[in-house]
């Protein structure tokens, strides 16, 4: 496998940084997660919403005083070339990452210390279950006024790791964060949608969560299907009384939720709105829906 390593494409084993790096010692960095899907011809790979992901990475880097090595078009081409050099003809996950690679002591962010890498890996299912059981975590989502979740900072994921470990230890598949004010925020690495009486609801990104590209896509896809959607704050008990619930994200795609804190939702299976969206999403990302082809960037000419 080949990795892009701050200006060069190198073998994975040669992509190494020092144990003294501020990225390791202090978590100073931000990243993106991007999927590519194998088209029905078995050869072409279609990268989902590449332009939006690169734009978000640019904005994230600017927020935390890091610098990307080029323009939007140049970063996009680095990622596409990475897929080509790895001869990918399967579903793939791309991870661009920019971080502070200074070896000096103390957590200080400086543009001149920026280091950019990107790697790829095969990825089919991120959560290997048809429906999952989740819990509301005792850990709270870090406030945007402390660490901004919208920039996907590397250091923030200690928060996610603690919540997910707690969930696993108690027999659940995933954790749900509340904000410090008690409103639903997101999963450990996914956004939340609930359905009640035929209407979809999702908390806004102002509830200390990521401005999710998959989430925004699902809102658009719901409109395509004529499914009503409302963005608003959601209380904890609303999770228990919803007819359906699913988590979504680049990795999770659309993952149905069976139960929340041992409360089974609906009939315990995949709800009808969730199923419609799952099927439509799969068609969109593999290039079968003409009106959404502009979301897809082909890797191979």
What whole-number distance in Å separates Cα of residue 163 and Cα of residue 170?
Answer: 11
What whole-number distance in Å separates Cα of residue 258 and Cα of residue 260?
Answer: 7
> Catalytic: 152?
yes
Contact predicate 139/124, CB 8 Å: no
* Pick from 149, 121, 90: nearest CA to 251: 121
Question: How remote is the C-alpha of 240 from its chain's centroid?
Answer: 24
Contact predicate 273/195, CB 8 Å: yes
Write down the catalytic residue from 16, 129, 152, 275: 152
**What is the phi/psi pair of residue 287, to 5°?**
80, 20
Tokens of 63: 């927020």
What whole-number distance in Å separates Cα of residue 109 and Cα of residue 168?
Answer: 34
Tokens of 204: 């806004």
**What is the phi/psi pair of residue 263, to 5°?**
-90, 115
* Pick from 174, 200, 172, 173: nearest CA to 186: 174
**What is the phi/psi pair of residue 282, to 5°?**
-60, -40
Q: How far apart are the first and last CA of the chain?
A: 21
CA dihedral defined by 26, 32, 80, 290, rounded to 10 degrees?
Answer: 180
What whole-number distance in Å separates Cα of residue 167 and Cα of residue 40?
Answer: 37
Which residues are part of the catalytic machinery?
152
């Amino acid at each position: 496998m080949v990795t892009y390593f701050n200006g060069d494409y190198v073998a994975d084993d040669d992509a190494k940084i020092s144990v003294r790096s501020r990225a390791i010692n202090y978590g100073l960095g931000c990243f993106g997660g991007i999927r590519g899907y194998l088209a029905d011809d078995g050869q072409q790979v279609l990268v989902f919403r590449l332009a939006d992901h690169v734009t978000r990475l640019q904005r994230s880097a600017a927020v935390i005083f890091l610098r990307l090595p080029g323009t939007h078009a140049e970063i996009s081409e680095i990622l596409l070339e990475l897929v080509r050099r790895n001869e990918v003809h399967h579903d793939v996950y791309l991870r661009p990452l920019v971080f502070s690679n200074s070896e000096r002591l103390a957590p200080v962010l400086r543009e001149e210390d920026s280091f950019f890498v990107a790697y790829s890996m095969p990825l089919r299912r991120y959560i290997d279950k048809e429906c999952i059981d989740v819990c509301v975590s005792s850990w709270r989502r870090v406030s945007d006024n402390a660490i901004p979740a919208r920039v996907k900072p590397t250091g923030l994921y200690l928060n996610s790791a603690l919540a997910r470990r707690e969930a696993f230890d108690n027999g659940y598949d995933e954790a749900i964060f509340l904000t410090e004010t008690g409103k639903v925020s997101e999963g450990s690495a996914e956004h939340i949608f609930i359905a009640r009486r035929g209407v979809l609801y999702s908390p806004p990104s102002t509830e200390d969560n990521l401005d999710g590209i998959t989430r925004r896509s699902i809102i658009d896809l719901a409109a395509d299907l004529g499914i009503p959607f409302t963005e608003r704050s959601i209380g904890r008990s609303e999770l228990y009384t919803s007819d359906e619930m699913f988590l979504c994200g680049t990795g999770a795609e659309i993952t149905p939720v069976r139960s929340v804190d041992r409360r089974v939702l609906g009939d315990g299976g995949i709800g009808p709105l969730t199923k419609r969206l799952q099927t439509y999403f799969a068609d969109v990302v593999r290039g079968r829906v003409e009106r959404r082809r502009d979301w897809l960037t082909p890797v191979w000419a």
